[in-house]
Amino acid sequence: MSPADLGTGRSSLGRVLDFAWGAGVFTATDAMAAATLTRSTTIDAIDTLVAARMLRELPNARAAGEYRAGRPARRFELPADLGTVAGLDAGDTHLSLQVTNLAGEAILHSRFDLDPGHSIRRRQDAVLRHVETALAGGGHGPLLALCVGVAAPVDRDGHSPRHPDGFWERTNAGLVDLLADLADVVEVKNDAQLAATAEGAVGAAVDCRDYVALLAGERLGAGVVIDGHLLHGLHGGVGEMFAFDYVRGVDSAFGLGPILERRARALVASGETAPDGGLAGLDPRDVDARHVLGLAAAGDPDALQVVRTAGESLARIVGVLGSMYDPERIIVCGAIAEGIGPVLDAAREALGPHLHLPAPALVASSLGADIVTRGAVLRALESARQVALPRLAERRLRETEDARR
């Protein structure tokens, strides 16, 4: 069901309702121009939607202090509390849930750590319990749309293909069916594709038609937007990074965090660190990516050496993605983006031999560790607008008609 079709004979209602989404306070004149309807049809549609509690009538322009001359205009808005939407980042080691009203204003945000060794059943229990607990407070209207991001390819029906080690099936543990009863619309999407959605809407790719959002923390994943379209593929596998197992100098789909840690630990274990450097004397097991990046930013020579080798690996990754997709920008996303500047500098210096096309701009995301959650919320808002809100309107219109009989 589209916002312009609330059922036979109700297209005018759908057009007014679709205009009201994001319009803020509006008048019948505003709606008439945007929905390309006659004035009488527009007013009839508004009155019908007000009676069905889909629009709220506000004090008129005189009461609001905006009246100057003539008859005061009636004013309306789409109530933000008609319902809620939720975005869930169902990572391998955590769950991060955000619930917003229809204006995108946050109502709650919760986070829960997971054991990555959980069985499929225990993961299902944990996801369902976390979401139900977070939503139990209520009081904000029905949950209209829920979008879940997972670290796996996802087809258009929300299911993931089989993985040789069972990782995709465990990560996407039948979530679209498990959560189906919680909202009018429940979708499961690949996490990197949701990161690309967030970057295009509120991040480093606003107004950019060709870009790659590269989730690069623990594992690599890419959301690819070309000519303004988010690429998907039959199984949702566009941007799957398994191919880097076969690229020399990268050798795996592990992200920049593990790359930095592995190379720093090798340097520490070799005993070749500078005696007065920040890595000297550390137990290799205590080395982590954030510490290395912090040292590099402060000019530590050993950390800078590690960063240069990580930058060379990133240059190869950028070279492959640049050759395959020819993007304007490649955006390094996720928690690793904070402090990743020295690695990006090293990658830019090393990129030349790995790409014949003009090099894409290589930038760090500013959206932080919650980028997948933000992308999931944005997707849920769009699903609410396109599908769930018209369904809610249809239900309420029928209730209104039944009450009049």
- pLDDT of the residue at 66: 58
* Domain with residues 211-366, CATH architecture: 2-Layer Sandwich (3.30)
- pLDDT of the residue at 384: 96
Fold of 11-78: Arc Repressor Mutant, subunit A (1.10.10)
- pLDDT of the residue at 357: 94
CB atoms within 10 A of CB 304: 18
- pLDDT of the residue at 184: 95
Which residues are CB-contacts of 127 (< 8 A; sequence separation ≥ 6)?
88, 90, 95, 173, 175, 178, 179
CB atoms within 10 A of CB 74: 18
Which residues are CB-contacts of 117 (< 8 A; sequence separation ≥ 6)?
none
- pLDDT of the residue at 24: 93
* pLDDT less than 70: residues of the chain: 1-9, 61-71, 138-139
- pLDDT of the residue at 327: 98
The answer to whether the CB of 182 falls within 8 A of the CB of 176 is no
The answer to whether the CB of 80 falls within 8 A of the CB of 60 is no
* Domain extents in the chain: 11-78, 82-203+372-385, 211-366
For 368-378, the pLDDT digits (tens) are 999 999 999 99
Q: What is the DSSP letter of 72?
A: P
For 117-175, the pLDDT digits (tens) are 778 999 999 999 999 998 887 667 899 999 999 999 999 999 999 999 889 999 999 99
- pLDDT of the residue at 311: 96
The maximal CA–CA distance of the chain, rounded, in angstroms, is 87
Strands (E), 158-302: 185-190, 211-215, 221-226, 229-230
Whole-angstrom Cα distance, residue 175 to residue 156? 13
Number of H-type helices and E-type strands within the chain: 13, 12
| Domain 82-203+372-385, CATH homologous superfamily name and number | ATPase, nucleotide binding domain (3.30.420.40)
Fold match between 82-203+372-385 and 211-366?
A: yes
